[in-house]
Structure 1
């Protein structure tokens, strides 16, 4: 058998794996664990096995949403993004829908293992993901629905770890606010459009940075410095691409703004954990940022 014939199955396998990496937007996956970790930090609970189950649930539901998103948008992508895995024929539509259903079931199973409080949050989270992709994405309520999903994901970590969510409502609202801004920008990433959405996202980033660095009084501490550094990393990751998109809301710059907003979730989650006093959790979350950034150079997160 010739070397060329030997290489053919390996090449096909590599191409198939690459297609699924693109469909599931693997670099964006690193923005997910920080939700549950920040939720656990908000209720002053140390991450444990139930937190890990919540992280697993979050990862499954996030990837279910990615597969379902492309399945729902397959006709639109055939016009605007024919290189995507479904319109290009590298992955079949039934396979993407099956993956979405299987990942949703796996996520809910992991939440059930974490306990009834976690499942009570995971069920509406899964419903929100499916409602967004199948019905609400292109409606005025789309960005708010996506924001709700991210907020629920943070609450999932709190519920799984401690059985409580009340203390995590404010961090969930802050994360949801950032998500709302990113999603609003993403609605014009294929065709470009008005500078209003990136300008609003830029203002939102500034407001959230101020809230993250606000001190209640008393002497300045090393924890304050640490939280401020993470907040600055968040602002730096999101603000520059937002500004570029506001100055020139072309599709390429808008897509970069969306990618920057997605990557900025990691330092935001880390800053939220630091704001709750969980320095180790914040460091672990922040460590995901360079990994996500490196993979994003190879596979698009949008």
Structure 2
């Protein structure tokens, strides 16, 4: 029959592309580019070059992040059927059973990769996985929801530090800054599907201003005893600058990346505060998610050194890739 086999092949190819697109939407692939910078920023907080274990930490972070994405839609499938029927689960393009299985598989893979990064990394990844599941299944629609999501981002950064140096304490200041940004974005996202108030967008705007300033300051927890920090100061036993050490202004790269972070988010937050409608709020949330990347890059850049500069630039380069992909697959 003329054209029969060719038509069957074309139909199979079209169905395959449709399945790939459905899973890309479910996984929110553009948002995945915001994940590697977490582990890299955690490693940079130790002021040392990350070894091969950081690759396992990044892989673990990506898997646990995608587990959260899939589980989020699985838990919200009834709500999405009313508010967002085009999403993969309510539209029937992905079955609930397949989504739940994928969430379990991603979680198992994330923990396995963390174990390869070392026992300290696994001790961070286990509570991170528990936080992800608790958020999606129980806490998302409670007042604790945004704080739980913020905790997950902070733990993700600490995972990179634990994989790099076996300890997480030096990365706590960076984790706190990243968690604060996540708290603001998550709070704003709670009114994506309904007419809201300007309060959340204004709070996110104020948070952006504060973080832009704070990320350019020195971390409050210093390097190990008698170690020379990236800014050239010699630190004593308690990690404080020795008397007489000169204060230096932020490095140009750190300042530039901090400004990029502010520029990525502030305008959308302002628009959402002036008109807190669902479309503008969704745009603001998307900008906040993309803004995570230059914030991570700024956190990495302030560690100083050639390795820190190269890693910061590599992280920042993920932003245009995520933005380009977001034109085809929604980031929220």
Question: How does the TM-score come out when normalised to structure 2?
Answer: 0.89
- Alpha-carbon distance between aligned partners in 1 of 2:90 and 2:57, rounded to the nearest angstrom: 33
- Alpha-carbon distance between aligned partners in 2 of 1:32 and 1:139, rounded to the nearest angstrom: 25
Map of 1:124 onto structure 2: 127
Map of 1:102 onto structure 2: 105
- Alpha-carbon distance between aligned partners in 2 of 1:84 and 1:219, rounded to the nearest angstrom: 50
* 1:238-257 map, 5 Å: 238-257=265-284
**SS where residue 191 of structure 2 aligns?**
coil
**SS where residue 189 of structure 1 aligns?**
coil
Q: CA deviation at 1:219?
A: 4.8
Q: CA deviation at 1:203?
A: 0.1
- Alpha-carbon distance between aligned partners in 2 of 1:228 and 1:24, rounded to the nearest angstrom: 33
Map of 2:94 onto structure 1: 91
* 1:210-249 map, 5 Å: 210-214=213-217, 218-220=247-249, 224-249=251-276
Q: CA deviation at 1:248?
A: 0.4
- Alpha-carbon distance between aligned partners in 2 of 1:176 and 1:117, rounded to the nearest angstrom: 21
Give the paired residue count: 300
314, 319, 323: which is aligned to 1:284? 314
2:177–2:215: 8 Å Cα contact kept in structure 1?
no
* 1:134-283 map, 5 Å: 134-214=137-217, 218-220=247-249, 224-277=251-304, 278-283=308-313
Q: CA deviation at 1:218?
A: 3.4
1:301 aligns with 2:328: no
CA deviation string 1:46-87 (max 9, x = no partner): 122110000000000000000000000000000000000000
Which runs of no fewer than 5 residues in structure 2 stay unpaired?
219-230, 232-245
- Alpha-carbon distance between aligned partners in 2 of 1:154 and 1:212, rounded to the nearest angstrom: 15
**SS where residue 264 of structure 1 aligns?**
helix
**SS where residue 200 of structure 2 aligns?**
helix
- Alpha-carbon distance between aligned partners in 1 of 2:294 and 2:151, rounded to the nearest angstrom: 19
Q: CA deviation at 1:154?
A: 0.1
Change (3 A) 1:245 1:37: same
Q: CA deviation at 1:4?
A: 2.7
- Alpha-carbon distance between aligned partners in 2 of 1:192 and 1:13, rounded to the nearest angstrom: 37
Q: Who wins on radius of gyration, i.e. which is larger?
A: 2
**SS where residue 88 of structure 1 aligns?**
coil
Map of 2:12 onto structure 1: 9
Q: CA deviation at 1:213?
A: 2.5
Provide the alpha-carbon RMSD of the alignment: 1.2
Map of 1:74 onto structure 2: 77
- Give 1 or 2: higher helix fraction: 1
1:31 aligns with 2:53: no
